[in-house]
A and B are shown apart, each in its own frame.
Chain A
Amino acid sequence: MKRHSSRVPAILAALAFALPAAADVNVCVWGTITGPDAGVNGMSYGTVDYLNYLNQTQGGIAGQKIHVILLDGRYKLDEELKIYRRCVDQENAVVVKGWSTGSAKALREQVQQDAVPFISETFSSEVLDPAKYPYLFIQGATYEQQMLIGLRAAKAAGAKKVMLMHGDVEYGRAPVTVVRKSGAIEKMGLELVDTIEFRYDAQDLTAQLLRVKAKNPDVVYIQASTPQALVILRDAAKVGLPAKLFIGNMYNIHPSIPEQLGAAAEGFRAIQLYANYGDDVPAMKEIAAYKAKNQVEKEDLYFMKGWFGGKFIAAAIGNAIKKSGGKPPADIKAFRKAVRDEMVALKNLDSGGIAPPCSFANHQGPTQARMAEIKGGKYVAVGSWVDAQ
């Protein structure tokens, strides 16, 4: 009995620390901390770290401490739906930052009913509709826009024949279908010679790459994630196709590609929406200052995206608090609406060089991108920012 009673204060103290102070502004972030796409979870850590950085260096936002809740959605729809309810109902979050395309689609009506600003990590055009979903935001060019930027760059470099490769999941198939149906490739003056769909968990794509070789395209655009890009580039080298033939999207800028493939990855290009970790941009000074006192979980481009997301959230919350006389509106519904209005009103958001200055009136923020190429084992920007519009 004595042993049990000695544990009680410790547990109560732990619970007390876990609960937010009454005056805190709550922001809820969920990502894949453990799960199939945990490789890009810097997007969640970056946002959490930026808001904590503001707490440590500026006492929060506009004098209000931010209580950031980071949860693990495990890339499971039911888990993400559960977390969303916790964020809105239990945590009273003024902003919710979610994760997958699936959850954004499943929750988009709910988000409007709850009138809570919701930012998703997806780049799917299906959830981007400011008129229909005024509380839903993404942070960058859609997958379709990225594809067009990549193909435009290829066209500028003299390409005539193009092939598309994508996984057999929504993330792979949907953007490719939209672009094909739009006729944008033909309008650019390119000829689409073939489209290859492959199993998303395929470990060998030699047969598909032999088909690519037979069609002899000038460029192959990949709509897939890092693990699939690794398989494609590995098997391309096996059948004698150079990496410079391939262009990937934003999720193909990952250190593991040059690290694991070495020379076979040289020349591979991908769409870059945010500055690399370690680039000479002002935001890196903030990150370095934060890192001096805290542990930074991920040091990659996705962390930069997360840091950018934190700046977006902080700017909107800060403006909303200032406009309500330096104190957050007492009513959470009014506060959420004020933050949403400030998100839309943001102009020339300075992200410290992570992305070009942007506004969120379009609900997607930066629509500019540039090409990055693997040179000497590193991604190097090989062009200036191009607007997807």
Chain B
Amino acid sequence: MPARRRLALLAVVVLAAAGSFALGRFGAYLVHSVAIAAIAAMGLNLLTGFAGQISFASGALIGIGAYTAGNLGNAGWGLGAILAAGVAAAVASVVIGLPALRLRGLYYAIATLAAQFVLEYLFKIVEPLTKGISGMNIAPLVLLGRPVASDQAWAAISIAILALTWLGLARLMRTNVGRAFLVVRENELVAKGMGIDVVRVKLWAFLASGFVIGVSGALVGFTTRLASPEGFGLSLSIDQVAMLIVGGQGVWAGSLLGAGFVVLIPEAIQRLGEALHVANLLSAMREMSFGLLIVLFLLFEPRGLAALLRRLARGVSRIALPHPVPDSSPVVAARTPAPGGTREKAL
């Protein structure tokens, strides 16, 4: 990424984080909810959208992150608790991913589903680590000697971690390992033919994805201040998959858009219902309309909100600039293989 673009991105992140302090508590809560969900969705996107491994165990991985951060945070680890949560979830993700070395597609998805149920059960019975069914109370994260308790502070922290995650994952995708993810996703036989160690690449995908999801779990734990088995069930995994479908797989912005959609649409429906004095009716229809929207996305825009927005932007620019864009424009230049080079190089 050019230095100027990096600086612009940094400025946006700093402004967004600083802006969180101007929000009320409710607004800040929505911001950190979206940011934390987006971090987990990016982790899942790496595994599913980029490396082609469908997983239904992200809810349990978020749980592992929350419990690890809870235990270590309560022991005074501070920021180290968030990193440790990522490591714990990364290890669990690799273990869950082991069947993927032999299973593919739907069969592997079912294996992750089994892992989700096993972990949910473990959350209930490993009482020394999870406090069982009652759940674990989590003390506020201590940063620089001060407890982080306000939603505004969490919104700023979540935005910063989201930006770091985005940059880190985008950078990973520019490495050989990242490019290998794409080849493995498209065709494992071809990948083998190209000399790619498919097993190693898959394990990297599980590791990186698990780490990111675990970090998001740590943030969930510190913001809700309670980790209980009921909070990390299959419905959370399904929400994560929904974020990918709605936002768009294989696009980082899609994870953020999907998270925003899944977290904010129920609130928008609620407010609309209140304004029109049909809150109870709409409340009952909220889940249904949410499901309906996902079906509509699958039918009409399976590439998700990210692709929809790109199309809209293209439409707007066509209206604003009715004449065809000359071939020398940077967009076209980027898509055209450089003379004497490969298309990949030009990109």
Contact = CB atoms under 8 A, between A and B. Distances in A.
Given A77-B230, A174-B134, A34 B275 contact: no
A285 interface: no
B26 A86 contact: yes
A86 B27 CA distance: 9
B132 to A, nearest CB: 8
Interface string A199-241: 0000000000000000000000000000000000000000000
Contact of B276 (A14, A86, A105): A14
A81 B25 contact: no
A116 interface: no
Interface stretch (A165-173, A333-341, A348-356): A165-173
Give the most central of B26, B267, B283, B284: most A CB within 10 Å: B26
B26 A33 contact: no
Nearest to B278: A14
Interface in A77-102: 77-79, 81-82, 85-86, 88-90, 102
Given A82-B33, A85-B25, A169 B133 contact: yes
Contacts of A86: 26
Nearest to B276: A14
A132 to B, nearest CB: 12
Nearest to B139: A109
Interface in A130-176: 168-170, 173-174
A72 interface: yes
A168 B275 contact: no
B284 A33 contact: yes
A72 B225 contact: no
B233 to A, nearest CB: 10
A89 B33 CA distance: 16
A358 to B, nearest CB: 28
Contact of A18 (B132, B133, B277): B277
Nearest to B24: A89
A102 B287 CA distance: 22
A315 interface: no
Contact of A15 (B225, B275, B286): B275
B138 to A, nearest CB: 9
Question: Chain B's interface: helix, strand, loop or mixed, by majority?
Answer: helix
Given A34-B283, A85-B26, A170 B275 contact: no
A173 B133 contact: yes
A34 B281 CA distance: 10
Contact of A102 (B228, B277, B284): B228
Contacts, number: 81
Contact of A70 (B124, B137, B230, B279): B279
A102 B149 contact: no
Interface string A1-35: 00000000001001101100000000000000110
Nearest to B150: A113
A113 B283 CA distance: 30
Contacts of B276: 14
A136 to B, nearest CB: 14
Interface residues of A, number: 32
A15 B277 CA distance: 9
B226 A105 contact: yes
A33 B226 contact: no
A206 to B, nearest CB: 23
B187 interface: no
A168 B284 CA distance: 28
A14 B271 CA distance: 11
Give the most central of A71, A82, A110: most B CB within 10 Å: A82
Nearest to B231: A77
A14 B277 contact: yes
Interface residues of B, number: 33
B78 interface: no
B226 A102 contact: yes
A94 to B, nearest CB: 17
Contacts of A90: 24, 26
A106 interface: yes
A94 B72 CA distance: 36
Contact of A106 (B124, B224, B279, B286): B224
A32 to B, nearest CB: 10
Given A14-B277, A85-B151, A168 B270 contact: no
Interface string B108-146: 000000000000000010000000111101000000000
B224 A18 contact: no
Contact of A105 (B135, B270, B286): B135
A168 B124 contact: yes
A97 B245 CA distance: 36
Contacts of A81: 29, 224
A85 B226 contact: no
A126 interface: yes
A248 B33 CA distance: 39
Nearest to B239: A78
A86 B224 CA distance: 15
B275 A78 contact: no
Contact of A109 (B133, B225, B277, B284): B225
A71 B286 CA distance: 13
Given A82-B29, A102-B135, A170 B270 contact: no
B91 interface: no
B274 interface: yes
B30 interface: yes
5 contacts: A18-B275, A72-B286, A90-B26, A173-B132, A173-B133
Interface of A: 11, 14-15, 17-18, 33-34, 70-72, 77-79, 81-82, 85-86, 88-90, 102, 105-106, 109-110, 113, 126, 168-170, 173-174
Given A78-B33, A85-B151, A106-B224, 13 more contacts: A14-B275, A14-B276, A71-B279, A72-B283, A81-B29, A81-B224, A90-B24, A102-B228, A102-B230, A105-B135, A105-B226, A170-B133, A170-B134
